[in-house]
Amino acid sequence: MPDIKSYTDARLRWLADGISLPVEYLECALPVINEIVTDKAELYLDIQRDLKSREKHDRLIHALGHNEDLSQMSIYLLLALDSYDLYRSRGLEDRIYFDSMKEITVWSKSNEKNYGVIGIRDQLDWISRFFTNELVRLVRLEFEVIDYPLNLCWNKYGLWVKPGDRVINIHIPEDGGLRPDDVAASFRKAYEYFGCTGLQVFVCSTWIIWPKNREFMDPSSNILAFMDNFDIIAAEEAKNPRDLWRIFGRVHKEYSDDLPKETGLQKRLAEYLRNNGGIMGRGFGIFAHDGERIYR
C-alpha cells in the first residue's frame, strides 16, 4: 500500500498529463488532495483497505466539506496513483495504465457537461474496477471477463456458448469515435492481453448495436460499422430508455421535442424518436476472434 506522503504535486501532474485531465480540473483537485494527505489521512487509509466501500468514501467526502463531486474526483486521483504498482506488478505497460485511468477524465468531463460542476458524481462501482484491474482499456475499447449472461446459447464455428461460460465483455467509453482501425486494434490487443488461444468469444450489450439504428443512422456511420462486427442475437426496446442521456446529456431522461439537435446523430435520433413514440433500444452481440479476424 503506497505511503500517503508519496502523493506529491509532481506525481499528480504526471498522472493528469498521462490521462489528459484538463489542467483546471487538477488545479481544483490539488487543494482537496493536499487536505486529504495532511489532515484526513486515516479516512483515506480506510478507503485504501476497502476501496469499493461507498460508506468509507462518503465518510471522507463529508469530513472534507467541499463540493462532493470534486471531493470524489480527488479521491479517485489518489486511488489511480495507488493502482500504478498493481499494473506494473502485472507487467503492464504505462500506456495501458494511463488509458485505463483515463476513465477519470471521461467521467469528469461528462460531469461538467451535464451538471456544470468539476468533479465526478459517484460512479464508484464502475471506476473502482479500473483501480483493481478488473476492467482495462486497450486502445479504444474497454474489456473485462464475465460469465456469459444470456439463457440463449450461441452455436457457431464449433463453439457452444452457454450461460456461465467465461467470455470477454466489451465497453465503449464516450471520449471518441469508433474508427474501424482502432476498433480492430482493440480486439487484437484484448485477445493478446487476456492470453487467449484458438477462438475467443467476445460479447457486448449497448445501444450502439441496437439493430434499428440502421433505420435512421447515416449508412457510412462508424457506429454501423462497429455493429457489423457482431452477431446480434438479442435486443430490447423501451420508451424513454436508460441510454437516452448518452446521446443527449443527463438532463434529458425522456423524449421531448426540445432534445438538443447539435450533432448529426442527435438530429437523426430525435426525429426517429418523434416518429416512433420515444422508443429506443439496445442490442446484445457476440463474435469469436482468433487474434487476427472476427467470426460472427
- Of 239 and 234, the one with more pLDDT: 234
Please give the sequence-ordered ranges of beta strands (E in DSSP) within the chain, or none if there are none: 136-138, 141-147, 154-156, 159-161, 166-171, 200-206, 231-239, 279-289, 294-295
Q: Which residues of 117-150 are buried (b: 16+ CB within 10 A; e: fewer)?
A: bbbbbebbeebbbbbebebbbbbbbbbbeeebee
Please give the DSSP secondary-structure letter assigned to residue 52.
T
pLDDT over threshold 90, residue 48: yes
Q: For 130-156, what is each residue's pLDDT tens digit?
A: 999 999 999 999 999 999 999 999 999
Give the pLDDT confidence of 185-206 residue by residue, as tens digits. Answer: 999 999 999 999 999 999 999 9
Question: In the prediction, which pLDDT does 3 show?
Answer: 60
For the chain, how long is the longest CA-to-CA vector? 60
Quick one: pLDDT band at residue 241, thresholds 50, 70, 90? confident
- What domains are defined for the chain? 4-134 (no CATH), 138-295 (3.40.630.120)
- Could you tell me if 105 and 19 are in contact, meaning their C-beta atoms sit under 8 angstroms apart? yes
Residues 36 and 64: beta-carbon distance below 8 Å: yes
**Mean pLDDT across 61-84:** 97
**288 contacts 156 by C-beta, under 8 angstroms:** yes
Average pLDDT over the chain reads: 95
pLDDT of residue 257: 84
Q: Give which of 281, 114, 160 is closest to 211, Cα–Cα.
A: 281
pLDDT of residue 170 exceeding 70, the answer is yes
pTM, two decimals, is 0.94
Give the residue, 250 or 169, on which the prediction is more confident. 169
If you write DSSP's letter for every residue of 137-186 in order, what string do you get?
Answer: EETTEEEEEEE---SS-EEETTEEE-TT-EEEEEE--SSS---HHHHHHH
